[in-house]
């Protein structure tokens, strides 16, 4: 009789514990405080706080779809406890990975190799097997297009996020203007640092923007620096992004330099080519950037009667297109066409052009590409023509910074 009672008590206890383990709740959002991150919240529906001291170090979560990892580097996804929830942050992903996450949201799921044990401050705990986590999270952790757009806007827009990069390389002696091996670095960086209120009372991001090319040949006419501390999103209800920028532009030494007010219209257009040949590569759409600027020079390299600093303007059109090729190659096209209204700076009143063509080869399990890049044309800060061949490495800046920060 006693054994029967004991069995009944054990059965009731197990049943009670099973009832207390509520289904997991998932939500995905964007945190724009500090460096913007995508946050996946796992809610255990518990009235008791999670015991952070017993929880241990960061857990190794990955995000999959159809048994393929969405984020290649495991360091991109990090976990931490907030009161009664477990939160996963995604930081340092490439634009292609973010777009892949959006496209596969309906089938995306969390994976943790050894399951999940959640201790609470009252001494109780919940245990979830890896299969539990996968099945309960499947299709519930995805990133919607509105949340994605919010994330990109926190970095200054899709054009900014796609273009956020850092590359360094060398120009062989045979191609160098200084008749020796030339080292150079190119970068593009945009980052939100605050908010302002729009006309309708909505929060609009304030963004810092810088872009440039510098080298050991400081007088290389292809070198330039753009530094825009003030960038305002003026898009309103438009699907495209419109930005107003205020800052300085110049060559590497600022022997040609100017203050500039810049306004631009940035939009995705449909893909023009497909070189994937059936490989599972996400094809990012080309980005066009149309705009104009008003500038006031504070220094220039002109001599004679045209040496006076100008107050004038330009209109321009930019294209950025990252084309995946087969399984691990990329062709990166960039171009800038501009027209300067100043007769001193542009006496022929012609449209000027500069462009670059790069072949990238992905280095497995790293944020880097080996890059072979040819650049030709005129930079709008000095209007001097030149060409250059560079061999080096290119990294998506978000992946590079995110990987370093998460080590």
The model's confidence at residue 244, banded by pLDDT at 50, 70 and 90, is very high
Supply the pLDDT for residue 21. Answer: 66
According to DSSP, the residues that pair with 68 across neighbouring strands are 65
Half-sphere exposure of 285 (CA within 13 A, CB side): 10
- What average pLDDT does this structure show over 178-202? 78
Q: How high is the pLDDT of residue 174?
A: 80
Distant-in-sequence, close-in-space partners of 384: CB < 8 Å, separation ≥ 6: 221, 378
**Mean per-residue pLDDT for 220-239?**
85
pLDDT of residue 142: 85
When the candidates are 2.60.40, 1.10.3810, 3.10.50, 3.30.70, the CATH number that belongs to 23-147 is: 2.60.40
Quick: pLDDT tens for 32-62: 776 788 999 999 888 788 887 777 666 789 9
- From residue 107, give the alpha-carbon distance in Å to each of 62, 136, 139, 157, 394: 14, 12, 5, 26, 31
Query: Which fold, 156-405?
Result: Porin (2.40.160)
The per-residue pLDDT for 405 is 45
Q: Report CA torsion sign: 295, 298, 301, 303.
A: positive
Phi, psi of 215 (to 5 degrees): -155, 170
Q: What are 272-311's pLDDT values in tens digits?
A: 899 989 887 777 788 899 999 999 999 999 998 889 999 9
Write out pLDDT tens, residues 150-163: 888 777 677 667 66
| Rounded CA separation 338/382 (Å) | 12
Residues 199/233, Cβ–Cβ less than 8 Å: no
Can you spell out the DSSP letters for 259-314? EEEEEEEEEE------B-TT-----PPPEEEEEEEEEEEEE----GGG-SPPEEEE
Cβ 32 vs Cβ 58: under 8 Å: no
- Residue 397, classed as helix, strand or coil, is helix
Spatial CA neighbour of 248 closest among 222, 225, 221: 225
Q: What is the pLDDT of residue 336?
A: 96
Domain with CATH 2.40.160 in the chain: 156-405
Distance CA 127, CA 123 (A): 13
**Of all residues in the chain, what percent carry a pLDDT higher than 70?**
86
Q: Is 5 exposed, middle or buried (0-12, 13-18, 19+ CB in 10 A)?
A: exposed
**Contact criterion met (CB below 8 Å) for 172 and 389:** yes
Report the side by side order of strands in the sheet with 37-43: 25-31, 37-43, 85-90, 77-82
pLDDT at 264: 92
Residue 117 in tokens: 């044990």
Q: Which residue has the higher pLDDT, 342 or 305?
A: 342
111 Cβ partners below 8 Å, 6+ apart? 61, 62, 63, 64, 130, 133, 134
* Banded model confidence at residue 242, pLDDT cuts 50, 70, 90: confident
Averaged confidence pLDDT in the chain: 84
Q: What is the pTM of this model?
A: 0.73
Q: What is the pLDDT of residue 295?
A: 98
Q: Please report which residue ranges of 220-376 form alpha helices under DSSP H.
A: none
Distances (CA, A) of 375 to 186, 357, 380: 12, 7, 14
- Nearest residue to 207 (alpha-carbon basis) of 235, 246, 149: 246
Distance CA 245, CA 243 (A): 6
Residue 222, pLDDT above cutoff 60 = yes
Both tokens assigned to 159: 């054009």
Is residue 407's pLDDT more than 60?
A: no
Q: By the 8 A CB rule, do 63 and 97 touch?
A: no
| pLDDT the model gives residue 193 | 77
Distance between CA atoms of 394 and 368, rounded to whole angstroms?
6
* Residues forming CATH 2.60.40 domain(s) in the chain: 23-147
């Amino acid at each position: 009789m006693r054994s029967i009672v004991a069995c009944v008590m054990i059965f009731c206890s197990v049943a009670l514990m099973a009832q207390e383990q509520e289904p997991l709740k998932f939500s995905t959002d964007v945190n724009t405080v500090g460096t913007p991150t995508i946050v996946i919240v796992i809610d255990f529906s518990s009235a008791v706080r999670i015991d952070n001291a017993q929880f241990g170090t960061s857990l190794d979560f990955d995000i999959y779809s159809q048994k393929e990892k969405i984020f290649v580097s495991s360091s991109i996804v990090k976990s931490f406890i907030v009161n009664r929830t477990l939160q996963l942050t995604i930081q340092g992903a490439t634009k292609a990975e973010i777009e892949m996450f959006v496209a596969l949201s309906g089938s995306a799921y969390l994976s943790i190799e050894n399951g999940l044990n959640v201790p609470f401050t009252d001494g109780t705990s919940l245990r979830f097997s890896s299969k539990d986590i996968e099945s309960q999270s499947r299709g519930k952790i995805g990133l919607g297009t509105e949340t994605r757009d919010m994330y990109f806007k926190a970095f200054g827009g899709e054009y900014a996020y796609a273009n956020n990069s850092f590359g360094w390389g060398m120009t062989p002696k045979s191609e160098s203007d200084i008749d020796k091996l030339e080292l150079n670095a190119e970068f593009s960086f945009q980052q939100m640092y605050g908010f302002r209120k729009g006309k309708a009372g909505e929060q609009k991001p304030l963004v810092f923007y810088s872009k440039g090319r510098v080298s050991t040949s400081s007088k290389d006419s292809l070198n330039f620096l753009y530094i825009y501390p003030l960038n305002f999103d003026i898009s309103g209800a438009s699907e495209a992004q419109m930005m107003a920028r205020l800052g300085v532009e110049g060559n590497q030494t600022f022997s040609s330099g100017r203050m500039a007010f810049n306004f631009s219209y940035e939009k995705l257009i449909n893909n023009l080519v497909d070189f994937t040949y059936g490989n599972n590569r996400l094809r990012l759409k080309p980005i066009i950037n149309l705009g104009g600027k008003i500038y006031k020079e504070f220094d220039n390299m002109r001599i004679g009667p045209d040496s006076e600093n100008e107050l004038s303007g330009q209109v321009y059109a930019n294209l950025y297109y990252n084309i995946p090729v087969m399984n691990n190659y990329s062709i990166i096209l960039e171009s800038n066409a501009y027209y300067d209204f100043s007769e001193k700076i542009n006496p022929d009143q012609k449209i000027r052009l500069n462009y670059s063509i790069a072949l990238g080869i992905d280095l497995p399990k790293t944020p880097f590409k080996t890059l072979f890049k040819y650049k030709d044309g005129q930079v709008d800060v000095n209007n001097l023509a030149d060409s250059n061949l560079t061999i080096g490495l290119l990294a998506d800046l978000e992946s590079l910074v995110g990987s370093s920060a998460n080590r």
